[in-house]
């Protein structure tokens, strides 16, 4: 089972920031938070990941709370092409390996 919970859907106006929350209250001390997105009928695409510190790359920013029980993915200037399902993933440890398990994700709709 996924170790994360996300709102099923959100919407955002084009050009505004999209803030996608994720709850991972059972995260362990050394487990990373990963974000992927899946545009309709395509394979998931890696966005960003982090452990404790906030992270930023050319696609997005990731804000992780100090207690690490939740995080927020920020798309600073959403475009119509950012319409997708966004998955927050904390890997489950299974037989010595970290196996990524997808939850239901958040369907983000960016409107004009």
Partner 1 sequence: DAMVIQNPRYQVTQFGKPVTLSCSQTLNHNVMYWYQQKSSQAPKLLFHYYDKDFNNEADTPDNFQSRRPNTSFCFLDIRSPGLGDAAMYLCATSRGLADEETQYFGPGTRLLVL
To partner 1, the closest distance from the beta carbon of 104 in angstroms equals: 5
Comparing CB distances to partner 1, the nearer of 14 and 101 is: 101
End-to-end CA, the chain? 36
Q: Are 9 and 106 in contact (CB under 8 A)?
A: yes
Coil, strand or helix: which one is 65?
A: coil
To partner 1, the closest distance from the beta carbon of 17 in angstroms equals: 24
Comparing CB distances to partner 1, the nearer of 14 and 23 is: 23
**Rounded to whole angstroms, how far apart are CA atoms 59 and 75?**
7
Query: What's the longest Cα–Cα distance across the chain?
Result: 47
Comparing CB distances to partner 1, the nearer of 43 and 112 is: 43
Binding site for partner 1 (CB under 8 A): 2, 30-32, 34, 36, 41-46, 49, 51, 87, 91, 95-105
Comparing CB distances to partner 1, the nearer of 96 and 112 is: 96
To partner 1, the closest distance from the beta carbon of 83 in angstroms equals: 15
Q: Are 101 and 1 in contact (CB under 8 A)?
A: yes
To partner 1, the closest distance from the beta carbon of 92 in angstroms equals: 10
């Amino acid at each position: 089972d996924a170790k994360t919970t996300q709102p099923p859907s959100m919407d955002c106006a084009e050009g505004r920031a999209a803030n996608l929350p994720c709850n991972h209250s059972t995260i362990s001390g050394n487990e990373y938070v990963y974000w992927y997105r899946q545009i309709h009928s395509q394979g998931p695409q890696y966005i960003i990941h982090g452990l404790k510190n906030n992270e930023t790359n050319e696609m997005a920013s990731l804000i992780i709370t100090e207690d690490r029980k939740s995080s927020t993915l920020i798309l600073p200037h959403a475009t119509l092409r950012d319409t997708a399902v966004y998955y927050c993933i904390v890997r489950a440890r299974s037989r010595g390996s970290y196996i990524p398990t997808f939850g239901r994700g958040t369907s983000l709709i960016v409107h004009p």
